[in-house]
Amino acid sequence: MIFRRYSTIQSNKNAEDVKRYLLGQHFKVHVLDFEISEKDGDIKIIPHAEHEEHIYTLPITRLRFAPSSKGSTIKMMSKPRRIDIGGPYLIMIFVTFMVIAGIMLYLLGEGKYENTAYILGGLGILIFGFLWFRLERGYFDYIRKINKWVKANV
């Protein structure tokens, strides 16, 4: 949904060679270890955050390989771990209701609740901006660095 990211990489190498090369490797992003393993025919890049206390939302990246005329095409899909996504979804629901309430007060309040409508809408937008800023510095940064590492190694 809103937190998923997709990208496509072209490689000159055969899909099976790339899979064999990537499987079992570890790399670090922001001192956090990521492991590459195979599950259900896909390659998954999974974070090892068992001992970390200050990390909130981490991506799991799936790689799918397809042969192409010049080698292989790698499709990447990153999404948050199931245990991490609850907080951002709750904040998004809260922000959505705040903005809807602000719009409803503005449209149906006949001018009596105009200031309250502006405050609700502004707070909703401010909270969304803060959430997005935190995700850009954390979750989306992990995704960018994982994509960069995969591109450099295939």
- 78 within 8 A of 59, measured Cβ to Cβ: yes
Phi first, then psi: what are they for 46, rounded to 5°? -120, 135
pLDDT at 7: 93
Residues 6+ apart with CB under 8 A from 6: 75, 76, 77, 78
Q: How far is 107 from 113, CA to CA, in rounded Å?
A: 9
Percent over 70 (pLDDT), the chain: 96
pLDDT at 131: 92
Task: Pick the range with the lowest mean pLDDT from 6-10, 108-112, 125-129.
Answer: 108-112
Q: How far is 102 from 123, CA to CA, in rounded Å?
A: 10
pLDDT at 40: 81
- Mean pLDDT (the chain) is 88
Q: How far is 117 from 95, CA to CA, in rounded Å?
A: 13
- Reply yes or no on whether the pLDDT at 56 is more than 90: no
Work out the average pLDDT over 97-118. Answer: 92
pLDDT digits (tens, 9 = 90+) for 59-75: 999 999 888 888 889 99
- Reply yes or no on whether the pLDDT at 110 is more than 90: no
Token reading at 89: 């979804």
pLDDT digits (tens, 9 = 90+) for 124-151: 999 999 999 999 988 899 999 999 998 8
pLDDT at 48: 84
Closest CA to 144 of 52, 49, 30: 30
Work out the average pLDDT over 28-50. Answer: 85
- Reply yes or no on whether the pLDDT at 23 is more than 70: yes
- Reply yes or no on whether the pLDDT at 55 is more than 80: no
Q: Which domains does the chain have, with CATH numbers?
A: 5-84 (3.30.530.20)
Give 122's pLDDT tier (boundaries 50, 70, 90): very high
